[in-house]
Amino acid sequence: MSAPPPLPASPSAQPSRGKRINCAIAILLVFLFIGPPVGALAFILSIALIGMGSHVDLLGLSWIGLFALIYAAPLSYLIGVGPAAAGGLVIGIRQAFYGPIRWPVAMLIGIGLGVGVLVMSGKSLPSALTSTDDPEYLPVMVITCLAATMVCWGIVRTWYFGPEGRAEAIA
């Protein structure tokens, strides 16, 4: 004997539009509050690693990380709130209305945000790829946005409503 087929979800099991919007706003808030400090830490540590070259001092790097958390994290909201809001909106709307985002898509969103920051900074992308003035600038900005996006996505990856109304970790 086989098990009976599952019953289709009833219309009353669907979350309301208000619950979906609340889910998207909650995801956006996580990105807005956590994304900029994580991005600042990734930026400062990346610059420090580039500056140290092949003579990486882990003790010095840990002190740089500590000072980055103290001084750069509060200032990170001035620069990082725009990319964090864009990433939070994209991931929040997708997860609240269409279902979960897997890690490869979250990585593409983070890389896209990094490229967007480069474009918005006035740096032309083709010249940035061949520039000898600041060859480190391109990967540092992309790594900064990628790190912040992946940390925030890791926090909210189970906060979603799918089209069928399934909810994970949303109360």
Residue 11: inside a domain: no
How many domains is the chain built from? 1
Pairing of strands 160-161, 167-168: antiparallel
Distances (CA, A) of 30 to 35, 57, 104, 148, 163: 7, 33, 20, 11, 23
Range of the domain at 21: 16-166
Residue 133: inside a domain: yes
Residue 8: inside a domain: no
- 141 phi, psi to nearest 5 deg: -70, -35
Residue 2: inside a domain: no
- 160 phi, psi to nearest 5 deg: -155, 155
Residue 14, token pair as written in the block: 């669907």
Per-residue confidence in pLDDT tens, the chain, 171 aa: 555 555 455 555 688 889 999 999 999 999 999 999 999 999 988 888 888 877 888 888 888 888 888 888 889 999 999 999 999 999 999 999 998 999 999 999 999 999 898 888 876 555 555 555 555 567 888 999 999 999 999 999 998 887 665 555 554
